[in-house]
Structure 1
Amino acid sequence: MDITPIVARLSVIADSVNALKALQSLTYEEFAHDHILHSSAERDFQIAIQAILDIGAMLLAELSAKVPEDYTGICLGLAEVGILPADFAQKLVGMAKFRNVLVHLYLEVDLRRVYHYLQHNLGDFELFAQYISEYLAKLK
């Protein structure tokens, strides 16, 4: 298995998380009233979540003949094949739904929700990267 595309996406996740961490010191008011800042956060969340979903699809394609048709299936599929714990896969389902809001329902984005994720959920991206790195290390 060529892990190069997976490693590249792990790097994208790390870059997005680092950019998001730079915004964590902002108050909600500073964040919400600066369009450039909250737009940047939304985009970095979108990119990082998309990279997670892409990695999941690649791994599932490698491990089975059928890749799930939707993002929920990708997240849960990673638990089914033992790459992620089931409870963490459920968190990813929530991330995928958030990504869909950012991409398709951009008029309905709740900045308080974005700010909450900024303050409390960046570790989930790092945990995902850790799980994937551990899985890739087993392949060697």
Structure 2
Amino acid sequence: MGVKERYARLPPLPPDVIRRLEGLGTLFQRHPVRLVYLFGSIARGDPRAADVDLAVLPEEGLSFRGLYADLSLALGTDRLDLLDLRSASPVLQQEILRTGRCIFARSEGERQTFEQRVRNIAREAQIRILAQACGFQWGLQPMGLRRDFLWSALLELDRVADALEPYRVLTVHDLETDLHRRWAAERGLLAGLTLVFQIADHILVARFHHEAETYEDLLRMLWQKGVITASLYDALRGAGGFRNILVHEYIRIDPARVVEFLGKAPEAFRRFAIEIREWLARLPEEG
């Protein structure tokens, strides 16, 4: 993703980070993890890579904080993002398999089973995408945009909004006393925000050839380019900072902020999906 703000104050990645990544097998064996995938800019071989993105399929009892701490020491950097594959959308799982690579598997059979399941879900989703796209009279013609990706991501965003709807009534007390509901709410918000920023980033890069400096810039530039309305931009302002809090400040997340965002997120996610579809429908078809 074309966002540079998260690690601006941290030292760059060690020059031997690839070598260190290749030697993590023993470390992963010590933790209850089943699969680990390297994805993102490092997996693509980008010499300008700013961080290490790892997608983890955990076993019961994994402490992501403990795994992060050990990885930080082994890799010599805090420029590290861990993604729980269980909470990743089918779209993101498929992208990880397509652009990344598995660097640890508890067993080869487990890796094959997981990857086949992701591909099966992707094929089923593609059928739904084409059927629903016809309903919107979309011509899925190549326009520099990956319309299949955008449509699939929008469908997933609708699903996240629906799943978050029951959590809108939660109070600060609910989150402080019920850890399971707190985790579910926070993971749901993160899943929705991740989709919003992935969609925004793809549109700005593929259609307008702009790379945003921050998550907030993604939203502002979508508004300035006429992709989303000013009212939707106002509703989503601050989402970039909140996303970073969800990712990087596990213990210090203020339940009041979570409750505040839960109250508006489902409707904001739905409006975002609607406005992106409407913008796509307005684009001229390319012959």
Aligned partners of 1:94 and 1:26: how far apart in 2?
A: 21
Q: Tell me, which stretches of 5 or more residues in structure 1 are unaligned?
A: none
1:130 is matched with 274
Q: Counterpart of 1:67 in 2: which secondary structure?
A: coil
CA RMSD of aligned residues (A): 1.8
Instruction: Give the secondary-structure state (helix, strand or coil) at the position aligned to 2:262.
Output: helix
TM-superposed deviation, 1:13: 1.3
Among 64, 69, 75, the alignment partner of 2:219 is 75
- Find the partner of 2:239 among 95, 116, 122: 95
Which of residues 132, 154, 165 is equivalent to 1:21?
165
CA deviation after TM superposition for structure 1 residue 27, in Å: 4.8
Q: TM-score, normalised by structure 1?
A: 0.88
Give 2:151's aligned residue: 7
Conservation of the 8 A alpha-carbon contact between 1:76 and 1:90: no
Q: Name the SS of the counterpart of 1:126 in structure 2.
A: helix
Residue deviations 1:45-104, cap 9 Å, x none? 011011001100111112222321321221111012111123432443311111110001
Given residue 36 of structure 1, which amino acid in structure 2 is its aligned partner? H
TM-score (norm. length: structure 2): 0.45
Select the residue among 27, 30, 34 that pairs with 2:178. 34
The structure carrying a bigger strand percent of its residues is: 2
Identity of matched residues, %: 27
Structure holding more helix per residue: 1
User: In structure 2, what residue type is equivalent to 1:133?
Assistant: R
Q: 1:77 to 1:111 in 2, by over 3 A?
A: same
Higher relative contact order (CA 8 A, sep 6+): 1
3-state SS, counterpart of residue 108 of structure 1:
coil
What is the number of equivalent residue pairs in this alignment?
Answer: 140
Q: Which runs of 5+ in 2 are unaligned?
A: 1-142
TM-superposed deviation, 1:121: 3.7
Residue 25 (structure 1) shift:
4.3
Deviation for aligned residue 1:15? 1.7
Q: Secondary structure at the match of 1:106?
A: coil
